[in-house]
Chain A
Amino acid sequence: MIRLENVAYNYGGGALFTGVSLHLEPGSFHFLTGPSGTGKTTLLKLCYGELLPTSGRVQLFGKDSAGMNRDEVALMRRRIGVVHQDCQFLDHLSVAENVVLPLTVAGRANEVGQDLTDLLGWVGLERQASQLPPELSGGERQRAALARAVMVSPDVLIADEPTGNVDWEMSQRLLHLLIELNRMGKAVLIATHDLNLIRAAKAQVQARVLRLQGGELQSAGAEL
């Protein structure tokens, strides 16, 4: 579904990474690790078409991301749920409204129903449903962002540090949600520094761990 072929990216200075190839197939589960500032977030942005590769090819659902028009980009985004590292909410809308926003903009707001309550319950945000995002704690924001990402039941779920600010117990709940989705056949890609999270996941699903370091993407060894 998502294919990166020999991709390089730079923000104008030197190349952040080169020769990156990555295939996200249905039912696959990937972790992306690496030191801060090596370009994990950048690599994820290439995977949902927010950035275009400096060289190489990124194919999203069979289409070259560089050749998509705006409408195609919009439709592609509806198939990919993303938890952004900086969350990206509409601060004037309530948490609940933000969580259903992907359905709203797709004209499917009437499909919400019970799912929203269940989802907010699972991530522990029923009480905060009508609050505004700026009033949430860092961990609550991340949970809301994850709820929004899974709301549309996407084909691919991409999460950038989804458990950075939550306690161990909550991170297990969130992981459980991601694993459930993966079992339904969705592709999951998570960037994280949290080795415990990776270990916990590997105990439950077949997960590949990738390491971005020194401008290259490698498979992490068995030490994890």
Chain B
Amino acid sequence: MNKVFALLSGDPNADRAVPPTGYTARLTVFTAGAMAFLAVFALSLTLATNRLADRWSSELARTATLRISAPADQIDAQVRAAMNVLDTTPGIATARPLSTQEQQDLLEPWFGPDLPLESLPIPQLIEITETDVGFDPIGLRARLQVEVPGAVLDDHTRWRDPLVQAANRIRSLGFVSLLLIGGATGAMITLAAQSALAANGQVIRVMRLVGARDTYIARAFVRRFTLRAALGALAGTLLGLVAIALLPQGDTAGGFLTGLGFKGAGWLWPFLIPPFAAIVAFFATRAAAFRTLGNLS
């Protein structure tokens, strides 16, 4: 902690001993800024996917549908039998056969309003909602197979699993992107610091001649690059946040693209980017400094 404080407060004399490194300094600010900008989007993608996966899981998980296809004369008996089974199955909160009107509404988008439902062999749907615990779909299927041969249970796992899988995959990609951005930032800052050190060979020589330790010389460079990176990253993060805040707001439910952004406390996450950039710059410059100083003898 003391070290961090010393780094932040700094030794103005030590800072002055290292001449201004105009070009590499600007390069560092720019790189950190650009990378932070990208990191904001990667972070926003990751968080948005998280939310999406949660929503898909929770919305789809609570409901299931039972579909009963049978000859017209048997359908009522089978529905009754199915309701019997469902009422005695633990984990099912409610079960309700859809009315003819409701089924008509469901089919209307595909077949139009004039569908003569009565005269068609349309399966009867039973809407199931689960309790918090949920039911055991495998056991239920086994019972239904025996007692209601015309019933097909759709617990939506078919839909949910690939969606949740895709969401998880996108989230992992988001994390990998963040890591890559961090790594690239470290690499760029290492190069900038190395070139700054190499350009200051004579300065380092003189400082050593008057008795400066390597840690002293390194600290002057490290502090400079760490502050530059933090500054650049802060600017990049703010720009990224503005860009995200200005994304068009669509409230169409489930619109994936319009869901990209931060919600509530999620807006605080991006503010971790500048300190993180500073940490990356600190270690990258330190390693570069001690390596270069080790080679300069």
Residues on A lying within 8 angstroms of B by beta carbon are 50, 70-71, 73-78, 82, 84, 88-90, 92-93, 97, 101-102, 104-107, 109, 148, 152
Contacts and interface: CB of A to CB of B under 8 A. Distances in A.
Contacts of B214: 70-71, 74
Interface residues of B, number: 20
A92 B213 CA distance: 20
B205 A88 contact: yes
Given A97-B16, A101-B17, A89 B212 contact: no
A77 B210 CA distance: 6
Nearest to B20: A92
B23 to A, nearest CB: 15
A70 B19 CA distance: 23
* Nearest 5 interchain pairs by C-beta: A105-B212, A78-B211, A77-B211, A102-B210, A92-B19
Contacts of B93: none
Contacts of A105: 14, 17, 207, 210-213, 216
A130 to B, nearest CB: 13
A109 B210 contact: no
Contacts of A109: 13
Contacts of B120: none
A88 B13 contact: no
B17 A88 contact: no
B239 interface: no
A77 B206 contact: no
A90 B206 contact: yes
Contacts of B203: 90
Contacts of A102: 210-211
Contacts of A104: 13-14, 17
A102 B209 CA distance: 9
Nearest to B205: A88
23 contacts: A50-B209, A70-B213, A74-B212, A74-B213, A75-B213, A76-B211, A77-B208, A77-B211, A78-B210, A82-B209, A88-B205, A88-B206, A90-B19, A90-B203, A90-B206, A90-B207, A101-B17, A101-B210, A105-B14, A105-B207, A105-B211, A105-B216, A107-B216
Which of B208, B209, B214 lies at the interface centre, i.e. has the most chain A CB atoms within 10 A of its CB?
B209
B10 to A, nearest CB: 13
A74 B13 contact: no
A93 B16 contact: yes
Interface of B: 11, 13-14, 16-17, 19-20, 203, 205-214, 216, 293
Contacts, number: 60
Contacts of B17: 90, 93, 101, 104-105
A179 B216 CA distance: 33
Contacts of A148: 210
Contacts of A93: 16-17
Contacts of A101: 17, 206-207, 210
Contacts of B208: 73-74, 77
B13 A77 contact: no
Contacts of B11: 107
B13 A89 contact: no
Contacts of B216: 105, 107
Given A97-B16, A106-B211, 15 more contacts: A70-B214, A70-B293, A75-B213, A82-B209, A84-B209, A88-B209, A89-B206, A90-B19, A92-B19, A93-B16, A104-B17, A105-B17, A105-B212, A105-B216, A109-B13
Contacts of A70: 213-214, 293
A109 B11 CA distance: 10
A84 B205 CA distance: 13
A101 B11 CA distance: 13
B13 to A, nearest CB: 5
Contacts of A74: 208, 211-214
A97 B19 CA distance: 13
B52 to A, nearest CB: 55
Contacts of A73: 208
Nearest to A73: B208
A90 to B, nearest CB: 6
Contacts of B16: 93, 97
Nearest to B207: A105
Contacts of B19: 90, 92
A89 B20 CA distance: 16
B217 to A, nearest CB: 8
Which of A74, A89, A148 lies at the interface centre, i.e. has the most chain B CB atoms within 10 A of its CB?
A74
Contacts of A152: 211
B54 to A, nearest CB: 54
Nearest to A148: B210
A84 B210 CA distance: 11
Contacts of B206: 88-90, 101
